[in-house]
Chain A
Amino acid sequence: MYTDYVNKMGNMEHNLQISNITVSVAGKQIITDLSLTVPPGAIVGLMGPNGSGKTSLAYALAGHPRYTIDAGKCSVAGTDITQLPPDQRARAGLLLTFQHPPEVPGVSIRTFFHEAYRALYGTTPWIIIERRLRNSFTFVGLPESFVERKLHEGFSGGEKKRLEAAQLLFFKPQCAIVDELDAGLDVDALIWMRKLFDACRVENPNFSALVITHAPEVMERLQPDHLYIMRAGKIHAQGGPPLLAQVKSAGYEAVL
């Protein structure tokens, strides 16, 4: 049914279209000939055992300086991002929530959110940005006073995840890559994760997400439209809910 969906959208530009990419880090090839599609409005899951290359793929897509795309092509909402710097990928509509976001000492969250928003959307009244900021904080359960804090500085694991989650709502990306957002969050947070995606879709009906996790329960709760399974830098399986059920009951070995 997902394939039908993808085919139906065939004439439209996909939010994320990865075609036969090869990625290396420090001269070592870590992803080989990988293709993947995230249509507008879809939640697509990406699972796989530790070390299978999920985070490497996410970094390569967002433009991490250590990861190079040596072959193939990636596009976001019709823009070829394969060789663009990270900021231009963001402007094309991509947003990666980091599994381990770095602390940026001395930079206030308010300054960071306001400046980045203007970089993406041009001049916008302060109060409009501020309102978005407060709304997204409320949604993910961060106190408003956090806007005065420094970017991820001294944050707990859970606070870092919430600040990453808030950015999904705040920045209105076309396509989010959500890397292990569930790790370190409690059960309640898993419930609002799905709600968060719904809220993002209210902001932007075409919002889509590539969600990386290795917890089948989390994926099940998100009800993805489609699922990819990675192993050793390649896509090894893909499918709908039955594939997820199989992973949940019998583990990766059963499907790979």
Chain B
Amino acid sequence: MNRGLTRDVVIAISETKQEPAWMMEFRLQGLELFEKLPMPTFGPDLSELKFDDLLYYLNPVDRAVSSWDQVPSEIKTTFEQLGVPQAERQYLAGVGAQYESEIVYKRLHEQWASKGVVFADISDGLKDYPELFRRYFGTVIQSSEHKFSALNSAVWSGGSFVYVPPGVHVDMPLQAYFRMNTDRLGQFERTLIIADEGASVHYVEGCSAPVYSAASLHSAVVEVVALANATVRYTTIQNWAPNVYNLVTKRAIAMRNATVAWVDGNFGSKVTMKYPGIVLKEPGAKAEIISIARAHEGQIQDAGGKVIHLAPHTSSTIISKSISARTGSAIYRGLLKVAPGAHDVVSRVRCDALMLDSTCHADAYPTVDIANESVDVGHEASVNCLDEVQLFYVMSRGLSATAAQTMIVTGFIAPLVDALPMEYAVEINRLIAAEMEGSIG
């Protein structure tokens, strides 16, 4: 398939995937909107992003496979390096891993399948659960919202479809490893998660990517629907190569007494723009957003969270911590909105930024829009340089400058990291430590 985006490319993607007519129509509408909508008018400079140079679809294997033996050996090696099979043996409920644009390896643990839990490639979700899929797909995030949601609607490929039936608790996290592997390959995965009434699920998305010579674009759309009394937790560890534009739209809708949590860790990429959102649509719904960002060497992490309280008696917490060093920029961008009818709302927003040297940059743009007087809203923000007295104190007990900085930074993000599954907590601490090794001469 050629580089660049045309109507023919969109039609070819849809035909390759043997999609129903409504989906091809949905994609073409997305393309029209993409062409019409302007680039974002806020945040980092995206002018180096050349849409015509990107590949919009790539199919490494004909279809997803469910047995390890069927996975091509080159891909297997990559997974072995990532430790996927080991991780699976230990506690994974299932693995859907994206290699280039298709899911090549997925397996659903039998006990979840027997309870009716669906954890599938998104295209299989469309094929196998057409009614359920159509009822929710595109309802949480509209194609028309901005240029990148439109782009994803036009060319989406790969991603997960998750459905958890009423009352079912998936108590081991569902994990997907994403890996982008071809130069100038744009990745446009699309994930749809539906937790039915009283269900609970934790979905974990982790990314790692090798280094490329030309800029790549990763522009995903993730939609989450938490029906009454459901609980959904979505954890992302993003560690894209330093030439990747990571422009992602994620939003959840929480119905009566439902709880949604986004745990969002941004470590890699050239530019990230990502503000996971939660719409609290019915009374009793709860939102929690935890955002950890690390920016270094010219990286821009423009991240945060959005909560929209549409119903009374809803509550939300947003906690953001960023670390920047060596010309990196970490920006918190958040929205807290309370609709006129949403009384008895409780919300806490806290964002802290830690700068490790004088070449980096940190900022906070919290937008608060409250149209109801009966609310309890707290907001705290801090931007600090690494405290020289803390560093002196820790070093005075015998720890080297590197070890002392690592300890202080690890402590700074500890309240958030402690909330993660062990494997990811370890990975984050390792990423932080590796960063420190290089930051002190």
A residues at B contact (CB < 8 Å): 62-66, 85-87, 89-91, 95-96, 98, 101-107, 111-112, 115-117, 119-120, 150-151, 167, 171
Contact = CB atoms under 8 A, between A and B. Distances in A.
B398 A120 contact: yes
A171 B410 CA distance: 23
Contacts of A95: 396-397
Interface stretch (B204-212, B258-266, B386-394): B386-394
Contacts of B394: 104, 107, 112, 116
Contacts of A171: 397-398
A167 B397 contact: yes
A107 B403 contact: no
A214 to B, nearest CB: 22
B411 A91 contact: no
Nearest to A116: B397
Nearest to A105: B411
Contacts of B393: 98, 101-102, 104
A119 B400 CA distance: 8
B260 to A, nearest CB: 26
B368 interface: no
B407 interface: yes
B411 A89 contact: no
B392 A87 contact: no
B390 A104 contact: yes
A90 to B, nearest CB: 4
Nearest to B414: A106
Contact of A63 (B396, B399, B414): B396
A106 B397 contact: no
B408 interface: yes
A102 B398 contact: no
B396 A62 contact: yes
Nearest to B407: A107
Interface string B369-396: 0000000000000000001111111111
Given A104-B390, A106-B414, A106-B415, A87 B396 contact: yes
B404 interface: yes
A105 B415 CA distance: 9
A62, A105, A167: residue with the most chain B Cβ atoms closer than 10 Å: A105
Q: Please classify how large the interface on chain B is, using the bins under 10, 10 to 19, 20 to 34, 35 or more.
A: 20 to 34
B411 A63 contact: no
A64 B400 CA distance: 14
B388, B397, B411, B413: residue with the most chain A Cβ atoms closer than 10 Å: B397
A107 B397 contact: no
B404 A65 contact: no
Contacts of B398: 87, 90-91, 116-117, 119-120, 171
A76 to B, nearest CB: 13
Contacts of B395: 63, 85-87, 90
A170 to B, nearest CB: 10
Contacts of B403: 115, 119
A179 to B, nearest CB: 12
State the 4 A-B residue pairs at the shortest beta-carbon distance, nearest first. A106-B411, A106-B414, A107-B411, A116-B397
A102 B412 contact: no
A96 B398 CA distance: 11
B408 A104 contact: yes
Given A102-B387, A119-B403, A120-B398, A107 B414 contact: yes
Contact of B392 (A86, A103, A119): A86
A115 B389 CA distance: 19
A107 B392 contact: no
Contacts of B412: 105-106
Given A87-B401, A115-B399, 5 more contacts: A96-B396, A104-B411, A106-B415, A107-B407, A112-B407
Nearest to A64: B392
A119 B415 CA distance: 25
10 contacts: A89-B396, A91-B398, A101-B393, A103-B390, A104-B394, A106-B415, A107-B408, A107-B414, A111-B407, A120-B397
B392 A106 contact: no
A65 B388 CA distance: 7
B411 A150 contact: yes
Contacts of A89: 396
A78 to B, nearest CB: 18
Nearest to B412: A106
A91 B404 CA distance: 15
A115 B397 CA distance: 9
Nearest to A151: B411
Contacts of A86: 392, 395-396
A116 B403 CA distance: 9
A103 B389 CA distance: 10
Nearest to A98: B393
A117 B411 CA distance: 18
A145 to B, nearest CB: 18
B391, B396, B403, B408: residue with the most chain A Cβ atoms closer than 10 Å: B396
A22 B11 CA distance: 79
A88 B399 CA distance: 9
Contacts of A151: 411
Nearest to A87: B395
